[in-house]
Chain A
Amino acid sequence: MLQSAPATGSVGGVVVQAGANFPVPLDGAHVELSGAPGSSISVRTDGQGRFGFANLPPGGYRLRVTRDGYIRQEYAKRAPIVIKPGAPHAPIIFEMQPAPSISGRVLGESGEPIGNIMVSALKAVYDSRGKRTFTALTTTLTDDRGNYRLYWLDPGDYIVSAAFFPPVKTPSSPIQDASRAVYAPTYFPGASDIANAQRLPLRIGDDLAVDFLLVRAQAMSVRGSIVTSRNERVRSTSVTLSLTGDTTGAARYSAKSDNLGNFEIKNVAPGDYIASSESVIDRQRYSTAMHIVLRDRDENNAGMVLSPGVPVTGRIALDTDARIGLSAVRATLTAVDPYLPSFTTRGFQDDGQFAIIGVQRGAYSLDIAGLPEDLYIKEEHSGQTSILADPLNVEWNSPAPVAIILGSDGGRIDGTVTDISGASAHAFAGAQVVLVPGAERRGHPDQYRAVSSDEDGRFEIRGIPAGDYQLFAWENVEERAWLNSEFMMKYFDSGLPVPVAAKSSITVQVPVIPEKK
């Protein structure tokens, strides 16, 4: 047999420090190439900052690089790198920016250092509905001298908080049995509420000093009772409190119910907690979780109602009622309170029937993941009630069966992102392309579509519900910012209007919105 041209390709490049007058190679950088989900290979750069991958089967890959002390990078932002057989890919240069840090000291009223305080760098992000929120990017604990370092952050706007962090008690550590002073959560420069916190812009290479002065707070109690959903008192069962900001979710306080099902947890610091309890009754797992916010007074009436939960049943179907492959599809009831548990389907029957079991009382949004690209969610009902925009409320009994109707008649957009700022227009790779629905549908996140342009500036969007849209292509934009109407105000005039009809196919060119430097 004759040797054919090699069926594999390769890619390589160099990692250097950004902004230097002459190239400063970075050794030991971790370069990861991932193809199909779950398969990735990684190498480290050599002393000259070089890396390379050979013998790669042709196809689309993602290329990421991390190095301690620098901001992680992905090749062309999100664009896949396309490996072709035979010829090596053009060399790739990663220019890495030094990551900024925040450090400081946490002191008490009389200037004494306070150890074991959890300090969090809360980064401004947009949530799944486009609301501006702050989420912990990094947290750390102060040492016995009150010092902390939140290192290698991303640039952006931050709020820094310091919160009392009760350690989990261990039998071998008697020191922890001593009386504890407790502190209220404090947002720099001294606010008790996140709304009054100061936003700190953090830029490349910064090392911001942020010191806290914490004021002792009154320790509080949480009292309540545990009953089953049949109103039977549950004795000798633990209730635990975990901090919502704690990444481990470990119980920080706990108490057992007495013979009347009443419990009292003492000496609790102010904060946001999830109270949870579970028990096995008649070989069935009963559980409950609730959000408890302690500010300045005891919680005297925490009603923990243990229940086995209820099944939520439903069916997912195409509008044409044709069969579809559902193996990759997951339906999840996501609690509106982000700290309460969510529940996911274990699978679908051939006809699209599903059951989500053990769902606790509460408000949920129904999220569908893993849909084939050509389909979109047309309707979500529980009985006669639409649950597309409004949450599904689960009470003590199963809600009316859920019907999810998928539309298969969506339109399609093929396009190219171009950069027209220079002398000649050229294709722009790695842009964030977002299809934003008309004004009346902007409150519905499922009506938006976001993709990125590939190495040749191209993109495609399929399964688009019919209607009017605007198309945007940003060089750089914060994730989900397009769901926020305030952010979008300054862009609505510059979007490319795209009317999409059912089963239509459109080809467009979108100019990139350059990043403001």
Chain B
Amino acid sequence: MKGVLSFLFCVAALQGVPQAPVPASESPFLCNEADEVIALEALAAAVAEANGGRGRGAVPVNRGKNCASIEGVVEREGSNNGIPYAEVTLQFPNIGPAGDVLTVKADSKGHFIFPSIKPLPLPDGYNIAAAADGYVSTLYGQTSLSSTGENISVTRGQNRTLTIKLTPAPAIGGLVTTADSKPVAAALVRAYRIQYTPVGRRMKIVAKGLTNDRGAYRLLGIAPGDYYVSASYNEDARAVPFPGTLLTPNLSAADPGYVTTFFPSAEAPADAAAFTVTPGGARNDQTITLKESERFKLHVSVVANAASPSETHAFNIALLPDGADLGDVEDYVVHGNGTSEFDIRNVGRGHYSLVAFDKGRILSEAVHVDIQHDQNITISVYDPVDIPGTVVNEDGDVVISNYRIRSKFGSTDCQPSCMILDSSDLKPVKLRARLVRTDPGLGQTIYADVDAGHFNIQDVGPGEYDVYVDGFLPGVYVKEVEFRNPDPNWFGRIRVEPDKPPRILDPITLRWRIDSGIRIVMASAKPYVTGIVWTGGKKLEGPIPVPGALVLFEPFRQPGNPFTFREDRFFVTHADGGGHFEMSLPVGKYVAFGFEQIPSDLYFDPEFNARIFSFGAITDIKLVYASTTAPIGVMRMIECENKFIIDAKDLQIELNPCILRVPREQSSGLYP
């Protein structure tokens, strides 16, 4: 298979060799002919026209024989109404987070134009994405959230015309009532996006609203996905100012009110009903019923830890429901009286996590509380630490932090097509180091920019974290994570405890810092896997290739595999129009799946995985044949229909995982 998906890395990014910046005119999109200057002017004119909001003027469309253009209109789904000022982006398919993009703004009628771009004939093509406020961002030709868009090929001199339909961003709405169906005014309603991660299910607050005098709420701008909603009606919830909303002085006090209640009438997220929001599919009937329930009292004493003689100053505490994210910690704050003793009243039954924090910095271990009766709890506070680190290649050289991918299609110096990494400062891609809390009941993600191979992760509280680096191209992976106090059982997992490793107080910043930080070794994945995704089809028809299928290689779950819980060891790509795919993977044992459609992170979920495991193709990637042109993967696999195992010995073969149609079970609360 040839085309867009065959790429090779010019490994400059991993070797720390800065290359000369590329002039701006060498855009991968703009037509590279003698009339390029005109192309740039035309683009500028188109952009200015869109920004100015005036009627469409004479934007010169380049119809020269060597260039191409794409124009069209962005419309509201189900209508012919143009969406004013939508942003339309030209990009290359399947290149991960680091690709070049070219964005134009539509005019007041939703009309857009890329006046002069490089021809990109079949089998290649551009992807075109459109985005507008209040709509779901969509790729042209995208049939589901997880599918790829259609490749838009353009030949020399061609002017292609497209209509891109956007669906309005869905809303979640309903009523909040008491058990006797009385509407509840000014109740705080939150929507939580359910995020599936290898270490557990998380719920992140993505929208908040208040009910009106009729008890009605509507949360808008909801991205498609899986959700919980909850309602809180008590003075604690009322005490938090709500952005944009000033409540009437004629509102009666809520008093103890009701415990936070999840749709439809559950005290704990575990008993709540999750539901799926689809593009264009508003949920208008999520009525939450508040009920009188048993409430408990928690008394919390906060003590400064003796092992950490620190200047720990002000702090708050927060009580987070099971699965909550510490990024939302302010939403769960418990208001104290200025001392280190806290009384939390009116807590509903369930599992919670308790932390101390100050301005978003987590100061304590997460204490898990199972509330079935009144309790006294003591938590110790420590100053969080800064953890420095480096990102290096296998030779120990620091990697270039910010790079740019240039894609040269059809040019003579890079046949047949490839991508080149360089260190140009045009549209740089930022590398970010990331710590992810591994606590099954409590999520947290802490980011730090990587600058010239170095990073400093600030304000890390006590706990256990997985270490990641984001921003590399597909095929570059974390090979080692070194830390003074690693978790020996898991790859890339560190434990941060007060003074392990020793902390030093920086005399200038007055911040605690770990003296020896994290060292992350990056490597290029050499084994190369190609394959085709097909349905079993009927016996007579034979296999049918599935275009745009999502291909997943995930770590084989067996004791001793240290990668099982690492999200960056779940490798994903999309099949092209012929059902073909290609990807680079590090050596290891995987299970491969093809999906026609799947929520973008559901495959991380251990429970989901347990259910689909038998559909997967177990793939042992062991042989490495180093080649820049014809990479070979050798693998063992399971053919889906008859579970027949083929042993392929040192042969270049195609992998044929089957298409999976995983039934979406209803109403279990587990799967939408």
A→B interface (CB under 8 Å): 28-30, 32, 42, 44, 66-72, 99, 101, 110, 112, 115-116, 118, 120, 136-141, 143-145, 147, 149-154, 165, 167-168, 170, 172-181, 216, 218, 246-248, 250
Contact = CB atoms under 8 A, between A and B. Distances in A.
Nearest to B84: A181
A116 B220 contact: yes
B132 A179 contact: yes
Contacts of A110: 81
A174 B137 contact: yes
A178 B137 contact: yes
A42 B235 CA distance: 14
B482 to A, nearest CB: 28
Interface centre among A110, A139, A143, A144 (most CB of B within 10 A): A144
Interface stretch (B249-257, B396-404, B483-491, B551-559): B249-257
A438 B84 CA distance: 61
Contacts of A68: 185, 213, 250-252
A-B pairs with lowest CB-CB distance, top 7? A151-B213, A144-B220, A143-B218, A178-B131, A152-B250, A66-B252, A139-B246
22 contacts: A28-B252, A68-B185, A68-B251, A115-B134, A115-B221, A137-B248, A141-B245, A144-B220, A152-B213, A172-B204, A175-B133, A175-B221, A177-B131, A178-B87, A179-B85, A179-B133, A180-B133, A181-B85, A247-B242, A247-B243, A247-B245, A248-B244
A144 B134 contact: yes
A180 to B, nearest CB: 4
Given A66-B253, A68-B252, A179-B131, A115 B213 contact: no
A71 B221 CA distance: 34
A114 B180 CA distance: 34
B212 A29 contact: no
B250 A112 contact: no
Contacts of A248: 241-244
A475 B173 CA distance: 45
A116 B255 contact: no
A140 B132 contact: no
B206 interface: yes
Name the prevailing secondary structure of the A interface residues.
Answer: loop
Contacts, number: 144
Interface string B60-90: 0000000000000000000001001111000
A71 B105 contact: no
B102 interface: no
B129 to A, nearest CB: 10
A152 B248 contact: yes
Contacts of B245: 139-141, 247
Contacts of B472: none
A176 B135 CA distance: 10
A100 to B, nearest CB: 10
A147 B209 CA distance: 14
Contacts of B86: 179
B247 interface: yes
B168 A144 contact: yes
B526 interface: no
Contacts of B201: none
A165 B244 contact: yes
Interface residues of B, number: 48
Contact of B213 (A144, A149, A180): A149
A115 B253 contact: no
B460 interface: no
Contact of B243 (A29, A32, A44, A168): A168
Contact of A154 (B53, B132, B136, B250): B250
A176 B169 CA distance: 11
Contacts of A140: 210, 212, 244-245
Contacts of A136: 246
A177 B169 CA distance: 13
A153 B248 contact: yes
A216 B84 contact: yes
Contacts of A149: 212-214
Given A66-B253, A216-B53, A248-B244, 17 more contacts: A30-B253, A66-B251, A72-B250, A137-B246, A143-B218, A151-B248, A152-B250, A152-B251, A154-B250, A165-B244, A175-B137, A176-B221, A177-B131, A179-B86, A179-B105, A179-B131, A180-B133
B533 interface: no
Nearest to B250: A152
Interface in B266-299: 282
A137 B252 contact: no
A270 B213 CA distance: 31
A405 B218 CA distance: 56
Contacts of A141: 209, 244-245
Contact of A30 (B135, B243, B249, B255): B255
B223 interface: yes
B243 A174 contact: no
A115 B222 CA distance: 12
A390 to B, nearest CB: 33
A175 B136 contact: yes
A216 B135 CA distance: 17
B484 to A, nearest CB: 30
Nearest to B221: A175
B134 A173 contact: no
Contacts of B108: 216
A89 B204 CA distance: 53
Nearest to B135: A178
B252 A67 contact: yes
Contacts of B105: 179
A71 B132 contact: no
A33 to B, nearest CB: 13
Contacts of A66: 250-253
